[in-house]
């Protein structure tokens, strides 16, 4: 880098960073306002209110705003409309469009909170509430980053876009998936996408592992519970399958390490979780007077969640499970099963030399004084739709939240982290527009 550019860069950045420091109350106020709208998914509540809050704010800053609704998606209804917001501001002349995408939906609050999950309470430099970390804090941060550039009067080529979208927590089909199908991430419109998911403020997240959800059902034959030999118990069949998984599959999965830099460390290999299991009759909650009658269970259903690696093949991943079920069938001739695919997304990982990665690397170095850590998310997020449907490869996640806090009680985001991340986002944007170099 030539020194004269370096000096100019620092002048621009110093002024911009001072501006962002001055927007601290704005980022706090915006995050709190967003958290107070309980956009819980499912069922997808208050999307319209949340989209309008974001859209009206951005319109007042000079963005052109639209509210595309995924009316043709199954999840959309008049009661729970799948409303997205896409805001765009044009710069001067031809240049790349940098797009920040956040999801507006949050998971239910659940139990174990010591604060009101919907109040956006401020405590010791943190904002608490459902969605602060995942990812309304990140959304607010990206809005402030772009607003700061506009307020500073920095002339930039190309455009900025900010989208806030529905349903990421349930697959993103009515959000980024829907927008991607309709050309919102086409090359004619967008060049680089940054998704402020909570992957830690000094990390650049290149992608995510793949996922396959399936329901496995073991089938049996009903008989009186006092004469189980006259029936076939589906729960015992499932037990035999689970035993094989424990004995044979888990040791293999644990050994199957990936070159993907997945965080946390414990997810840097193939994993398998059982989301739920149910066998026999439904038992009413804690009501033992109405406990199931003595009947041999003829069905046991298990929902499994297999996270797979870029080194693995999805068909092989499925065959591995079927292989164990077939083993059980050979050993227990009356064992029968069904298996049903529920959801699958391929793993993806953006090239570490992609311009968006290098811009964020430079910006993290600038703000934190140390190199960015490249990571991969254990779970999927909307990057899959941008890349697989939108065919836009220059996409990563970068945001201020702490990964481990997502979906937890007492979720929070650290205000200083948001300020630092806003600086990273703003500096990376200027680098992508070739206004500065690191």
- Given a contact cutoff of 8 angstroms between Cβ atoms, the answer to whether 141 and 109 are in contact is no
Kindly state the helix (H) or strand (E) to which residue 176 belongs, with its residue range: helix 176-181
382 binds Zn ion (CB under 5 A): no
Q: How far apart are CA 189 and CA 99, in angstroms?
A: 10
Using the rule CB under 5 A, give the single segment among 25-33, 184-192, 193-201, 354-362 that binds Zn ion.
193-201
Q: Residue 346: which residues within 8 A CB-CB, separation 6 or more? A: 210, 314, 384, 388
253 binds Zn ion (CB under 5 A): no
To Zn ion, the closest distance from the beta carbon of 106 in angstroms equals 8
To Zn ion, the closest distance from the beta carbon of 386 in angstroms equals 14
To Zn ion, the closest distance from the beta carbon of 136 in angstroms equals 10
Instruction: Single out the residue of 16, 50, 87, 135 in contact with Zn ion (rule: CB under 5 A).
Output: 135
| Long-range Cβ contacts of 72-78 (<8 Å, 24+ apart) | 73/173, 73/174, 73/178, 74/173, 75/44, 75/166, 75/167, 75/170, 75/173, 75/174, 76/174
Using the rule CB under 5 A, give the single segment among 20-28, 36-44, 116-124, 127-135 that binds Zn ion.
127-135
- Given a contact cutoff of 8 angstroms between Cβ atoms, the answer to whether 33 and 53 are in contact is yes
In the complex with Zn ion, the residue whose CB is nearer, 237 or 400, is: 400
To Zn ion, the closest distance from the beta carbon of 134 in angstroms equals 4
Q: Which residue is nearest to Zn ion (CB)?
A: 134
To Zn ion, the closest distance from the beta carbon of 292 in angstroms equals 38
In the complex with Zn ion, the residue whose CB is nearer, 9 or 134, is: 134
134 binds Zn ion (CB under 5 A): yes
In the complex with Zn ion, the residue whose CB is nearer, 172 or 347, is: 172
Whether the bond into 192 is cis, omega within 30 of 0: no
The two structure tokens encoding residue 230: 């006259």
The two structure tokens encoding residue 315: 């068909």
Q: How far apart are CA 424 and CA 364, in angstroms?
A: 6
Return the SS3 of 218: strand
> With contacts defined by CB under 5 A, how many residues of the chain interact with Zn ion?
3
To Zn ion, the closest distance from the beta carbon of 167 in angstroms equals 11
In the complex, the residues that contact Zn ion under the rule CB under 5 A are: 134-135, 197
């Amino acid at each position: 880098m030539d020194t004269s550019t370096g000096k100019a860069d620092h002048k621009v950045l110093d002024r911009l960073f001072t501006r962002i420091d001055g927007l601290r109350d704005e980022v706090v106020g915006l995050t709190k306002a967003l958290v107070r709208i309980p956009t819980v998914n499912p069922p997808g509540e208050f999307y319209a209110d949340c989209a309008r809050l974001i859209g009206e704010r951005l319109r007042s800053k000079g963005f052109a705003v639209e509210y595309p609704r995924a009316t043709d998606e199954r999840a959309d209804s008049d009661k729970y409309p799948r409303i997205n917001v896409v805001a765009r501001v044009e710069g001067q002349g031809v240049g790349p469009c940098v797009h920040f995408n956040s999801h507006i939906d949050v998971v239910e609050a659940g139990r174990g909170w010591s604060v009101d999950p919907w109040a956006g309470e401020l405590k010791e430099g943190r904002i608490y509430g459902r969605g602060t970390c995942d990812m309304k804090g990140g959304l607010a941060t990206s809005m402030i980053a772009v607003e700061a550039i506009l307020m500073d009067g920095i002339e930039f080529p190309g455009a900025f876009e900010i989208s806030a979208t529905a349903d990421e927590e349930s697959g993103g089909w009515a959000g980024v998936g829907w927008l991607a199908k309709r050309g919102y991430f086409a090359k004619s419109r967008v060049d680089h996408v940054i998704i402020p998911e909570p992957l830690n403020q000094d990390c650049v997240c290149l992608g995510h592992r793949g996922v396959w959800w399936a329901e496995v059902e073991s089938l049996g034959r009903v008989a009186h519970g006092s004469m189980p030999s006259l029936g076939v118990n589906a729960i015992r069949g499932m037990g035999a399958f689970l035993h094989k998984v424990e004995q044979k599959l888990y040791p293999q999965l644990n050994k199957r390490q990936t070159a993907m830099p997945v965080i946390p460390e414990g997810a840097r290999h193939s994993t398998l979780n059982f989301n739920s299991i149910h066998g026999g009759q439904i038992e009413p909650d804690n009501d033992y007077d109405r406990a199931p009658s003595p009947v041999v269970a003829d069905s046991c259903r298990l929902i499994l969640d297999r996270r797979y690696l870029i080194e693995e093949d999805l068909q092989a991943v499925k065959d591995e499970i079927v292989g164990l079920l077939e083993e059980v069938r050979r050993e227990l001739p009356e064992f029968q099963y069904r298996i049903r695919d529920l959801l699958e997304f391929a793993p993806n990982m953006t090239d570490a030399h992609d311009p968006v990665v290098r811009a964020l690397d430079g910006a993290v170095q600038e703000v934190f004084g140390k190199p960015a850590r490249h990571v991969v998310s254990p779970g999927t997020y909307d990057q899959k739709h941008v890349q697989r449907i939108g065919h836009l490869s220059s996409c990563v996640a970068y945001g201020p939240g702490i990964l481990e806090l997502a979906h937890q009680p007492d979720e929070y985001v650290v205000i200083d982290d948001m300020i630092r991340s806003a600086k990273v986002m703003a500096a990376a944007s200027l680098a992508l527009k070739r206004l500065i170099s690191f």
